[in-house]
Amino acid sequence: MPRALITGITGQDGLYLGELLTAKGYEVFGLVRGQSNPKVATVERIIPGVELLEGDLTDLSSLISAVEISQPDEVYNLGAISFVGLSWKQAELTGETTGMGVLRILEAMRITAGSDVSRMRFYQASSSEMFGKVRETPQRETTPFHPRSPYGVAKCFGHYLTVNYRESYGMFACSGMLFNHESPRRGIEFVTRKVTKGVARIALGLQDSITLGNLESRRDWGFAGDYVEAMWRMLQQGSPDDYVVATGETHSIRELLDASFARVGIDDWTPYVKQDPRFFRPAEVDLLVGDPSKAMDQLGWKPTVTFTDLVDMMVDADLAVERETAGQALTVR
């Protein structure tokens, strides 16, 4: 039975990946930060049989302990301070967790593996935010990085460190440059859930409007459940490499609003949406769209959920939650 250790298992990607690996017959270990973590119950409900280990990406000794206990064949580093907006307010913490955390987990693996560093395979969750002020469109594996946030900078550090450990120590270490991937499990601080949850509440009469920042930003949005499949496929290859994982399509925040409000039968959303300068980034990333050709060709991977289907899935899930909470009913047209 293969064994996998997942950092960030309480997050959106960690939950989907844990489900996927469990279905494939893996023994799954998850790193959980802090005592009495409120997300533990959710992890145990979604991934029965998971073994949770206490640890923190800012503490090397705890990572060494987690690797020694789990003895993983594969390590997936999904843990990070992942909300881009927060990275300006907590830049040092973002650097310590999202950047230096990669160094610590790689060191924990190297120290634990001893002379046989190739026996454990490593996946690093890189990000499209590394491209930032893009040099070419679409973005591919060879596109230069120009990060526009402390989060993007930290992800660049982790990405290059993964390459360095692969080249310096012969580690089987891969990075997935994942473009935006969403789901009903996405945190409500992210713009996609902020919109779909807000639309659900507006449709149920529970709130009057949604306040957003830049409506012209364009992103390449896919389904998180598809993207964790790409992570797993990277670690099944004969040699390690880095891959862009994306849909190859780009959509604006306005299109996200169009699709979300259409799901509840509202054609004109302008009375329900406000803009506030507080929600604009200090340095904006205007356009991200990835070229997934390499992942498709070498991994045999492709996205299965369209943008519209993704938005419908998220709005429906938020409607169900808000309806249950409010005790109201709504017929979706």
- Give the catalytic positions in this structure: 127, 129, 151
What's the burial of 330, exposed, middle or buried (CB within 10 Å: 0-12/13-18/19+)? Answer: middle
Q: Locate tokens 């017959």: which residue?
A: 25
What's the burial of 47, exposed, middle or buried (CB within 10 Å: 0-12/13-18/19+)? Answer: buried
Q: Which residues contact 258 (CB under 8 A, 6 or more apart)?
A: 269
How many whole angstroms separate alpha carbon 128 and alpha carbon 149? 12
Q: Indicate the SS3 state at residue 195.
A: helix
Residue 115: count other Cβ atoms within 10 Å of its Cβ.
Answer: 6
Parallel/antiparallel/unpaired status of strands 251-252 and 218-219: antiparallel
What's the burial of 94, exposed, middle or buried (CB within 10 Å: 0-12/13-18/19+)? Answer: buried
Q: Which residues contact 45 (CB under 8 A, 6 or more apart)?
A: none
How many whole angstroms separate alpha carbon 181 and alpha carbon 199? 19
Q: How far apart are the first and last CA of the chain?
A: 47
Does the CA dihedral 43-44-45-47 come out positive or negative? Answer: positive
State the DSSP code for 115.
T
State the DSSP code for 99.
I
How many whole angstroms separate alpha carbon 178 and alpha carbon 185? 17
Closest by alpha carbon to 270, among 280, 261, 278, 282? 261
